[in-house]
Amino acid sequence: MPCSSMTREVFLLRAFEAGASAVVVLVCPEGTCRYLEGNLRASKRVARVKKLLDEIGIGGQRLNLFNIPHGDQSAADGIITQTISDLAKLGPNPAA
């Protein structure tokens, strides 16, 4: 995506419909969005979907947003590793 602000709520939900047990959204650090508010908008949408996932009963903790600088591969690797580790406790998506 050209900017995390293009992340729409329905994309996140459909990822869980497709069987994902966890979803991570990686956005630029605060104050560095080249479109000024993109990462803030993404953050609000992720918060909304987390709440929806709680209401659905799947658990909002399966969806998380992280701020990482563009191109920081080691940070991305660390986040994915942690997410997979967290999944061991959460278990698979109950709606998969």
Partner 1 sequence: MIVGEQKPLAEIKAHVSSYSRLLILGCGTCVKTCFAGGEDEVAILASSLRLAFKKDGQTIKIDELTVERQCEDEFVKEASAKIAHTDAVLSLACGAGVQMVANRYARTPVLPGVNTTFIGILEKQGLFTENCLGCGNCVLGDFHAICPLSRCAKKLLNGPCGGSQNGKCEVNRETDCAWQLIIDRAKAFGQLDELATYVPPKDWRTSYAGGPRKLVREDHVI
| Interacting residues toward partner 1 by CB under 8 A | 8-10, 13-14, 16-17, 52, 55-58, 94-95
Cβ-based neighbours of 45, under 8 Å, separated by 6 or more: 7, 8, 9, 12
Question: Residue 29 has what DSSP assignment?
Answer: P
Nearer to partner 1, 29 or 51 (CB): 51
CB-nearer residue toward partner 1: 35 or 82: 35
CB 18, min distance to partner 1, A: 10
Nearest by Cα to 7 from 46, 57, 62, 47: 46
Q: Which is nearer to partner 1, 78 or 94 (CB)?
A: 94
